[in-house]
A and B are shown apart, each in its own frame.
Chain A
Amino acid sequence: MAPVSRGPAQIDVLTRALDDAVEEVFHLMTGVHCLPVSQCPVEERAMISAVIGLAGAMSGTCALYSGEKVALRMSEILTGTSSPKLNDTVKDAVGEICNMIAGAWKGRLPALSSECMLSTPTIISGTNYQIHNQRLEFRLEQFYGFEDSSFTFTVVSESLE
């Protein structure tokens, strides 16, 4: 199996696959479109993070970073139920959105589809934290917007082979 290269053309393929995956997940599961945006306001950056481990052909993580209000809205449009605060349902919903995006993204990439495994989601909530990846060699960070909200999705990897 050919390794996933890190040239500009391949980065573009990975990015477009992520854009398509995000839109597919949001549109099919919530009826709402979600498209790339140029930036994400600081207050919408990190109050809750969902992290999925990648193993196999790619070793690293996929992560969704969201502010509290955005997470509450994500949960509401996914489940059809509103929550007043970051409870277990909201965390579960954000984790599932991250899970589906990660799966839809890797499913679009022949080198990863059956050769890269996903972990179950881990949810981290709170303020003023950073997620540190050792031996980071590749990082893809995109901002996405739906309705008047935005969030960040990253793919980081220690290798691409």
Chain B
Amino acid sequence: MSNIAALIVDDSSVMRKIVERALRQAGICLGEVFEASSGVEALKLLEQKRVDLILSDINMPAMDGLEFLRQLRTQNLAPDVPVVMITTESSEEHVRDAIAAGAQGYIRKPFTPDQVKDRILPLFGSA
């Protein structure tokens, strides 16, 4: 697996750093890491930058993570890039909504690096 360029979308700068740290602790080879504090900022960034993985919170002001995901698909931005939601919302309904909106994975906060590894590595063909 070559270095993965990742985009982390969360209104909390602390959580963005924690997610990046968890990805590294999970043994995921990260290349460039981009951050966005909102869905709107993330969409603008993706117009300019190419990434291999997107991790997004759901509960964010202005544009929540599900709407960001829908806009991503509608605008055909990063069409083949897997999106994994990282969120405090844990109900089956929320998971279904995320998958229906186009997410490839779902990680519930709080999480361990092992849980991150289990969700992310299979997306890149690694066990």
Q: Which residues of A contact B (CB under 8 A)?
A: 24-25, 28-29, 75, 78-80, 88-89, 92-93, 95-96, 99-100, 102-104, 107, 113-114, 118-120
Contacts and interface: CB of A to CB of B under 8 A. Distances in A.
A100 B18 contact: no
Contacts of B94: 114
Contact of A79 (B18, B60, B109): B18
Contact of B15 (A88, A96, A102): A96
Contacts of A92: 12-15
A24 to B, nearest CB: 6
A104 B15 CA distance: 16
17 contacts: A75-B14, A92-B12, A95-B12, A99-B59, A99-B88, A100-B109, A100-B110, A102-B88, A103-B87, A103-B89, A103-B90, A104-B88, A104-B90, A104-B109, A107-B90, A114-B93, A120-B11
Nearest to A89: B14
A104 B111 CA distance: 11
B2 interface: no
A114 B14 CA distance: 26
The interface size bin for chain B is: 20 to 34
B58 to A, nearest CB: 10
A120 B111 contact: no
Contact of A120 (B18, B60, B109): B60
Contacts of A120: 11, 59-61
A103 B17 contact: no
B80 interface: no
Interface string B40-72: 000000000000000000011100000000000
A25 B109 CA distance: 8
B92 A80 contact: no
B125 to A, nearest CB: 27
